[in-house]
Amino acid sequence: EKQRSILLDSSSRFPPPPGVKLSYGTSGFRADASILQSTVFRVGILAALRSLKTQSVIGLMITASHNDVSDNGVKIADPSGGMLSQAWEPFADALANAPDSLHLVQLVDDFVRKENIPFEGLESAEILLGRDTRPSGESLLEAAKKGINSIVGAVAVDMGVLTTPQLHWMVRARNKGMKATELDYFDQLSSSFSKLIDLIPHGNIVNTMDKLIVDGANGVGGEKLVVFKKVLQFLDLEIRNSGKEGVLNEEVGADYVQKEKVVPRGFAPADAGMRCASLDGDADRLVYFSVIPNADNRICLIDGDKILSLFALFIMEQLSILNQNECGGENNSYPATLGVVQTAYANGASTDYLKHLGLEVVFTPTGVKYLHEKAAEYDIGIYFEANGHGTILLSEGLLHWLDGRSSKPSLTSKGSEQQKAALRLLAVSKLINQAVGDALSGLLLVEAILQHMGWSIHRWSELYHDLPSRQLKVKVVDRSAVVTENAETVVVRPLGIQEAINAETAKYPQGRCFIRPSGTEDVVRVYAEASTEEAAVNLANSVARLVD
Ligand code: NG1
Ligand code: ZN
């Protein structure tokens, strides 16, 4: 009863914006920041209930990633550090759209009963809050606190300005009983990075490499990198667009660079030949690029697919060393399964390349929650979206076995190649964020592997050549009218449209094309690939006309 009146009272202070229907999409709720107070307040309630239900620490992140600075958004990190369980998304939608506080209290009441959420006011709940650098973040974070505080026993811990992956990492670490401050995060990343550098085979340290220039998207990633740089060894970093210079995501950042394939602000022809990287607005995406000399600001893009390919090569090398039989005798190898996960946006050339390496490549719909889930089925699962969001997951079983390999001299002689390979994979598991794609940790792994291989950005870029591709978006009244199947490669509704797409695609050598409704914007996206730039553009345009 007391709980009921607190909830009624506090929620009446956060009326929902009239005439807006929000849905918890691939990245939580996102909208213009001015209409989000009520939504964020309600997600605070949701996070508290999730914490009560799981009896674990939960995260709540306020960010709109690569979207405009005037937008914002909110999403929840589950106990593992991953995305909110999909089973709770319908409740999230219902809660966000409840017309008034009476309906809201009723919804909460029903849900608590249905989900058997312990709710005597005796249990405690803890929610870590983080936000990116958007100016609207501060007051939205207050709204989240109010939501959390309206659930008896729930405590909000304000972690301040963080990258999205930092918050996910902290939630995961806390639930494993580990320390989870930003300092702990930086410590773990920098020590595992140093470890990988220590383990570089002699002779490969050809390029105590030239510096890396990072575009921080004028957001939280750039800001954090400036701090991190001070404790980071073995890497010469220059950080641009770290926040002071310009507007968040405005002609800067990973999304801009990947979609437009031009240099971000702050970069110039004089940077040609340098190794450059771009983070997105909340630092969960990473792409690399180099500026093409005398080419009108065009770049040579190294996207998520190529980062995935680099990671896969390195992992395969370590697994193959581990499987070489040292004494020619008994075989102690661990039958580790390795799989890579992509979406339909992966460049066809990358998929061909990965398959030629002998890798198992599987596809899921867009949205990291799907990729992550799939990758977790392997001992080592590597997933990346072409836009640069991805990570590597390593199973507990494999880590345990590697621990044995690296420490028991009876299994591998000390200083042997096998021991080093085991130590490298263990370092990767500490460096790369196991909760979610993380641009900062991904960047360090890329840098460590390039040094390990002795590769320049050019050598890396030459692994394969991307097929020309084109992305368009078509504004539609109702994007839900488009229904897809088979990892979004086939349209099943509206009827007949897939046949029309097939007919268009067949006109182009190496043509591939698909459409899907966006999960974050009111648009239908068109992706086309073909043997030439012109063909890809034409194919995309003609299919976009089918959608219109
Ligand atoms: P939608 O709007 O559903 O295409 C976009 C990205 C996703 C993912 C989400 C979440 C593309 C084509 N789509 O989703 O990969 O990153 O945003 O931020 O890049
Ligand atoms: Zn992002």
Give the closest residue (by CA) to ligand 1 atom 8: 367
23 and 95 part of one domain: yes
| Mean per-residue pLDDT, 119-142 | 92
Which ligand approaches the C-alpha of residue 61 most closely? 2
What's the pLDDT score for residue 227?
97
- What distance in angstroms lies between residue 440's CA and the mean position of ligand 2's atoms? 12
First to last CA, the chain: 53
What's the pLDDT score for residue 324?
84
Give the closest residue (by CA) to ligand 1 atom 19: 387
Q: Is 378 contained in some domain?
A: yes
Instruction: Report the atom number in ligand 1 closest to the C-alpha of 389.
Output: 16
What's the pLDDT score for residue 330?
47
Which residues does 449 contact at the CB level (< 8 Å), separation at least 6? 196, 310, 311, 313, 314, 455
What's the pLDDT score for residue 414?
61
102 and 78 part of one domain: yes
Q: What CATH number does the domain containing 476 carry?
A: 3.30.310.50
Q: What are phi and psi of 470, to 5 degrees?
A: -145, 135
What's the pLDDT score for residue 412?
56
Confidence of residue 331 (pLDDT cuts 50, 70, 90): low
Domain limit, last residue, from 241, 269, 301: 301
Integer CA distances (angstroms), 201 to 209, 250, 412, 419, in order? 15, 41, 18, 13
Catalytic residue from among 65, 150, 190, 194: 65
* 510 in Cβ contact with 529 (< 8 Å): yes
34 and 74 part of one domain: yes
330 and 253 part of one domain: no
What's the pLDDT score for residue 329?
46
Structure tokens at 144: 């989240």
Which ligand approaches the C-alpha of residue 65 most closely? 2
Rg (the chain; Cα; Å): 24
What's the pLDDT score for residue 244?
79
Pocket test for ligand 1, best of 26, 163, 516 (most atoms within 8 A of CB): 26
Domain limit, last residue, from 277, 301, 325: 301
Which residues does 418 contact at the CB level (< 8 Å), separation at least 6? 321, 322, 324, 326, 405, 412
329 and 294 part of one domain: no
- pLDDT > 60? residue 99: yes
Q: Is 175 contained in some domain?
A: no
Instruction: Determine whether the shortest distance from the Cβ of 472 to ligand 1 is under 6 A.
Output: no
Domain limit, last residue, from 426, 441, 456: 441
Give the closest residue (by CA) to ligand 1 atom 11: 387
Instruction: Report the atom number in ligand 1 closest to the C-alpha of 26.
Output: 10
Q: What is the rounded CA–CA span in Å between residue 453 and residue 79?
A: 36
Amino acid at residue number 326: E
- What distance in angstroms lies between residue 279's CA and the mean position of ligand 2's atoms? 8
Tell me the pTM: 0.95
Instruction: Report the atom number in ligand 1 closest to the C-alpha of 25.
Output: 3
| Mean per-residue pLDDT, 108-114 | 96
Give the closest residue (by CA) to ligand 1 atom 3: 519
319 and 294 part of one domain: no
Catalytic status, residue 65: yes
Confidence of residue 1 (pLDDT cuts 50, 70, 90): confident
Confidence of residue 334 (pLDDT cuts 50, 70, 90): confident
262 and 375 part of one domain: no
What's the pLDDT score for residue 48?
98
DSSP string, 487-532: TTTEEEESTTHHHHHHHHHTTSTT-EEEEEE-SSSSEEEEEEE-SS
Q: Is 362 contained in some domain?
A: yes
154 and 20 part of one domain: yes
Q: What CATH number does the domain containing 401 carry?
A: 3.40.120
For 203-259, write each residue's pLDDT tens digit. Answer: 665 555 689 999 999 999 999 999 999 999 999 999 999 987 899 999 999 999 999
Pocket test for ligand 1, best of 286, 372, 470, 518 (most atoms within 8 A of CB): 518
432 and 497 part of one domain: no
Q: How many CB atoms lie within 10 A of CB 349?
A: 20
| Mean per-residue pLDDT, 71-75 | 97
Which ligand approaches the C-alpha of residue 514 most closely? 1
Q: What is the rounded CA–CA span in Å between residue 76 and residue 66?
A: 18
What's the pLDDT score for residue 415?
75
Instruction: Determine whether the shortest distance from the Cβ of 26 to ligand 1 is under 6 A.
Output: yes
Q: Is 178 contained in some domain?
A: no
Confidence of residue 521 (pLDDT cuts 50, 70, 90): confident
Which ligand approaches the C-alpha of residue 28 most closely? 1
422 and 475 part of one domain: no
Q: Please, how many CA atoms are within 13 Å of residue 85, restricted to the half-sphere of its CB?
A: 13
Share of the chain above pLDDT 70, in %: 96
Instruction: Determine whether the shortest distance from the Cβ of 366 to ligand 1 is under 6 A.
Output: yes
Structure tokens at 219: 């957001």
Instruction: Determine whether the shortest distance from the Cβ of 374 to ligand 1 is under 6 A.
Output: no
What SS3 string covers 53-80?
A: HHCCEEEEEECCCCCCCCEEEEEEECCC
291 and 312 part of one domain: no
Angle between helices 439-453 and 304-323 (to 10 degrees): 60
Total number of domains in the chain: 4
Pocket test for ligand 1, best of 366, 370, 523 (most atoms within 8 A of CB): 366
| Mean per-residue pLDDT, 108-119 | 94
- What distance in angstroms lies between residue 261's CA and the mean position of ligand 1's atoms? 17
For 10-62, write each residue's pLDDT tens digit. Answer: 999 999 999 999 999 888 999 999 999 999 999 999 999 999 999 999 999 99
ipTM, two decimals, is 0.97
Domain containing residue 211: 191-301
436 and 493 part of one domain: no
Q: Is 312 contained in some domain?
A: yes
